[in-house]
């Protein structure tokens, strides 16, 4: 009876294990081992197969990430431009930007429940909501989310969140949505400047150029409408909104550091709790002082309010959790792409004039935003790319000369007369 012992030998990380049979002493009918040349050939074929499979899997993964990125970019662009346009439409019937800010911020409470639903479907280790909540609370410290932590680490960000959204919505009342969306892109430059000053981040000349372009674009945007009071106030409001957004991001990194997905979801839900407990009194005061007044609750366009809140919630979900499926740079591109979308809508729905100064300002701010998306080591990558191109050119030139020389030598051999032809 033949005796064989089986073992599982994985070829590589990209291939599944294969079952091989090994020779046992005393087996007369065992398979002969291949010759050295055949073994080398077989090993080479297997090695190339493993490499091709690995490359194929890597390329498929990158393609999936890219296509997911395109979907996220379209989602960010449509949700951001859609919420901006819907807010503009809402103010024609319901002139209450702070109340709209308060109403939309309350929807942030859905962040943690939506995250937990995703956790249940995706994570192999299922945890109860209470267990997951306690684990995410470690983000606030060893004692979790205490009252002291709530007022020192959550409340300031709740105020900044409210100011950012309120100033942005109030600016929409004063100027067109194109100017608002392009000026808000300056928050990327403000984040760099604050990070450089407060966090001592690495100095990058290209980002200083981007910040200068952003400031120049703001000045040109102010000049585009001739320094009228409404335009100046509107531009000041949206620049203030971009500044509050930059301060929010820098302080978050300074005080809390980086957060995981569950921790970020819990933090945003906590902001909605702060909004309900401590900001609710402000819309009530504005209503009774008739600063933001409406005759009856039947007049309120609830469809517009809920639509705006859903779009803003979608935008924040994609902005905070989109990096799980795609590249962060692609997500930021969605914000820039909302500018031409708003420009097209404004062209057909408002009396905006795209004069040369406004167009140049939009281009300058957009260019500054794109420069800020460059990675920190972009100059190193560029130098490596240029070095590789130079090496390739140097390798191609000798090869080309060698081909020409060998061609001339072969031609001379063919045309050179032999001595035998002159013998007779």
pLDDT tens-digit readout, 404-417: 445 445 544 444 44
Instruction: Tell me the pLDDT tens digit for each residue of 266-281.
Output: 999 999 999 999 999 9
Classified as helix, coil or strand, 9 is strand
CA distance 35 to 286: 90
Q: What is the pLDDT of residue 170?
A: 95
Length of the chain: 424
Tell me which of 158 and 12 has the higher pLDDT.
158
* Among candidate residues 248, 372, 379, 382, the one with its CA nearest the CA of residue 320: 248
Classified as helix, coil or strand, 6 is strand
CA distance 166 to 21: 72
CA distance 390 to 392: 5
**pTM (global) more than 0.85:** no
Phi and psi dihedrals of 355, rounded to 5?
-75, 175
* Among candidate residues 29, 341, 35, 59, the one with its CA nearest the CA of residue 181: 341
Find the mean pLDDT for residues 378-382.
Answer: 63
Q: Which of 98-107, 251-260, 347-356 has the highest mean pLDDT?
A: 98-107
Show the 3-state SS of 215-239.
Answer: HHHHHHHHHHCCCCHHHHHHHHHHH
Q: Which token pair is 129?
A: 């909501």
Work out the mean pLDDT of the chain and round it to a whole number.
Answer: 79
Find the mean pLDDT for residues 92-101.
Answer: 93
**For the chain, how are helix, strand and coil distributed in percent, rounded to 5?**
75, 0, 20
Instruction: Tell me the pLDDT tens digit for each residue of 13-64.
Output: 343 333 333 333 344 334 344 444 444 445 444 444 555 555 555 577 777 7
Confidence of residue 155 (pLDDT cuts 50, 70, 90): very high
Find the mean pLDDT for residues 100-122.
Answer: 92
DSSP H helices, 140-260, are 147-149, 155-174, 177-184, 187-198, 205-224, 229-255
């Amino acid at each position: 009876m033949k005796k064989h012992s089986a073992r599982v030998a994985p070829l590589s990380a990209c291939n599944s294990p294969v079952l091989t049979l090994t020779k046992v002493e005393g087996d007369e009918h065992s398979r002969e081992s291949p010759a050295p040349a055949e073994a080398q050939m077989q090993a080479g074929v297997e090695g190339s197969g493993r490499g091709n499979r690995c490359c194929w899997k890597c390329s498929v993964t990158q393609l999936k990430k890219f296509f997911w990125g395109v979907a996220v970019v379209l989602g960010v662009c449509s949700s951001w431009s859609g919420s901006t346009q819907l807010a503009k439409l809402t103010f024609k019937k319901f002139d209450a930007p702070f109340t709209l800010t308060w109403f939309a911020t309350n929807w942030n409470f859905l962040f943690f429940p939506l995250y937990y639903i995703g956790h249940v479907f995706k994570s192999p280790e299922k945890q109860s909501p209470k267990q997951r909540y306690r684990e995410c609370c470690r983000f606030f410290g060893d004692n979790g989310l205490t009252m002291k932590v709530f007022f020192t680490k959550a409340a300031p960000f709740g105020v900044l969140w409210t100011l950012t959204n309120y100033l942005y919505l109030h600016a929409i009342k004063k100027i067109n949505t194109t100017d608002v969306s392009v000026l808000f892109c300056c928050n990327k430059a403000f984040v760099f400047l604050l990070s450089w000053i407060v966090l001592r981040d690495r100095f990058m000349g290209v980002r200083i150029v981007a910040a200068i372009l952003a400031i120049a674009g703001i000045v040109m945007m102010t000049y585009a409408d001739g320094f009228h009071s409404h335009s100046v106030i509107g531009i000041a409001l949206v620049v203030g909104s971009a500044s509050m957004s930059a301060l929010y991001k820098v302080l978050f990194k300074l005080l809390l550091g980086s957060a995981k997905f569950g921790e970020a979801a819990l933090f945003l839900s906590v902001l909605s709790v702060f909004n309900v407990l401590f900001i609710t009194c402000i819309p009530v005061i504005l209503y009774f002082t008739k600063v933001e007044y409406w005759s009856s609750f039947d007049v309120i366009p609830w469809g517009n309010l809920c639509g705006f809140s859903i779009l803003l919630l979608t935008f924040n979900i994609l902005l905070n959790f989109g990096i799980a499926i795609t590249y962060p740079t692609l997500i930021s591109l969605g914000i820039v792409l909302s500018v031409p979308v708003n420009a097209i809508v404004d062209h057909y729905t408002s009396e905006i004039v795209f004069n040369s100064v406004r167009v140049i300002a939009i281009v300058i701010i957009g260019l500054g935003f794109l420069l800020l998306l460059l990675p920190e080591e972009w100059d190193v990558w560029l130098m490596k790319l240029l070095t590789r191109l130079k090496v390739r050119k140097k390798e191609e030139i000798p090869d080309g000369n060698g081909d020409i020389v060998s061609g001339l030598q072969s031609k001379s051999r063919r045309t050179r007369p032999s001595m035998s032809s002159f013998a007779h």
